[in-house]
Amino acid sequence: MAAKFSVVRGTKDILPAEAERFNEIKSKAGNIFSVYGYRQIYTPILESKDLFIRSLGEETEIVGKQMFLIQREDNDLVLRPEATAGVVRAYIENNLARTEGFVKLFYIGPMFRAERPQKGRLRQFHHIGVEAIGSDDASLDAEIISLADSILKSLLIDGYEIKLNSLGCLSDKKRLSDTLRNILSDKLNLLCDDCQGRYERNVFRVLDCKNKACRKVISGLTLKRSDYLCDDCLAHFESVLVNLDAIGVGYTDCVYLMRGLDYYTRTVFEITHAGLGAQDAIGAGGRYDNLVEELGGNKTPAIGFAFGVERLILARNKEIENTLDNNLVYIIPLGDAAKRESFKILSNLRAAGIISDTVYTDKSLKGAMRKANDLGARFVLIVGDDELAKNVVTVKDMKSGEQNQISRNNLIEELKC
C-alpha cells in the first residue's frame, strides 16, 4: 500500500466551507478597498532575501528566525513573510513615482513564516492589506485606520480594539530607543531570556513580549511621548487623533505600542480581539516614511496595514458564521426522464446566474435531500413524473420547510424573488 502524504506542519487545507468564508472576507474587503480608491496589485511570492534584510531589519525575528530560505548560486530567495517590502520594490522598479505619483494599492495573498505552529499562527497564512505611497498627510493615516474599521464592521466583527501610537521620525526613534533602554536598565534581571537579548538588538520588541514577568515590568514603566517626539511628529500624531475623532472611529491611545519592524515611523497601530487569547492581533500597520528611499527610490512617505484572514475568521462571531448566505438551488430528479429535463432546467438556471447543482451519485430522494442539507442549499427542486406531466417543479424552501409547485415558465422569476 502506498504511503499516505500529510499536509506540511504549520499549513492547512482550506476546505470548501472555510473557503467560502475566505472568499466572503476577500470580497467584502476588496469592495471597501475600491470604495476608498485603492487598486489591486499582485507581487511575486518569491523575493530576494536581501529585500527583507534591508526593509525589516537584520535583527528582527522575522529575518533572523522565520524566513523560508531557497538558496541559489546567484541570489538567495525567500517566500515572502509580509507584503509591504514587495509592494515598495514594485513601486520603485516600475517607476510608479514618475508615472502615477501618489498611489493607493491593495493586495490579497499568502505569506510564509517559519514560526512554531499554534492556533491563529500558521507557517502559511493569508493577508489582505493596503499601501498608500506618496503622502505624509495625517488625514491619510486616519483614512487607513478608518478603512480597517470599516472592514471589521462589514464583517460584523465586534469586541475589537484599535491601539494607536507614534514612534516619531528616525531621530525620535533613536531617542525612544535610548529612553527605553534607560528605564529598563535596572530591570534587566526581571525580563525573560529572549527580552534580555532584545534589549540590545531591538528594544522595541521587549514591549511586545507576552511573557507574564515581562508584562509585569512593562506595566510599571513610565513613558511619555514628550520624552522622545519632536514638535512636528507630535503635531502630526495629534492631527491623526483629531481626524479620527471627527469621523467617529474609536481607538485607544497607547504609548507602549511598538511595532518591531525597522521600517515603521510616526503612526503605528494594532487591532486586537479579546476572544483570541495570546495571539490576539488581527491586524496592524503604520507609516514607513523612509522605506522607499532605503530600498533605492527617492525619499517618499507611505503608510499601510494588513489583516490576517485566518485571524479574522477566528474573530467572527460563531452565530454570524453560521448564517452566511448560501443561495444554492439543488435539483433532485426522480427517474431517467426527469433527469434529462432536470439537466435542461439546470442549464437555464445557470444561464440566469442562479447558483445551482444537481445530484450525481445517490439516486434515492432521502439520500439526495441529505446531500442538499449538507451543502446548505437554500432551495431544493424536485422533478418527477408528476411534475413532468404538469410542467411544474416542486420547490422546497430549506429554511422554512414550505413546499410548493411552481410552473417551469415562472421558475427563474420566483427563485430570484
DSSP for 331-366 reads EEE-SHHHHHHHHHHHHHHHHTT--EEE-SS--SHH
Q: Which residues of the chain have pLDDT under 70?
A: 1-3, 58-61, 64, 260, 317-325, 362-363
**Residue 218 included in any domain:** no
CATH of the domain at 385: 3.40.50.800
Residues 249 and 372 in one domain: no
**Residue 76 included in any domain:** yes
What's this model's pTM, rounded to 2 decimal places? 0.84
Residues 89 and 127 in one domain: yes
Residues 333 and 264 in one domain: no
Question: Of 320, 349, 371, which residue is a domain's last?
Answer: 320
Angle between helices 138-154 and 16-35 (to 10 degrees): 140
Instruction: Provide the number of structural domains found in the chain.
Output: 2
**Residue 208 included in any domain:** no
Q: What is the pLDDT of residues 233-289, one digit of tens each?
A: 999 999 999 999 999 999 999 998 987 678 899 999 999 998 887 778 899 999 999
Q: What is the pLDDT of residues 17-47, one digit of tens each?
A: 889 889 999 999 999 999 999 999 999 999 9
Residues 312 and 349 in one domain: no
Q: CA of 47: how far to CAs of 65, 68, 127, in Å? A: 17, 11, 17
Question: What pLDDT, on a 0 to 100 scale, did the predictor assign at position 106?
Answer: 97
Residues 376 and 274 in one domain: no
Task: Give percent of the chain with pLDDT exceeding 90.
Answer: 49
**Residue 221 included in any domain:** no
The domain of 333 spans: 329-416
Residues 153 and 237 in one domain: yes
DSSP for 247-265 reads HT---EE-TT----STT-E
Question: What pLDDT, on a 0 to 100 scale, did the predictor assign at position 319?
Answer: 43
Question: Of 280, 302, 320, which residue is a domain's last?
Answer: 320
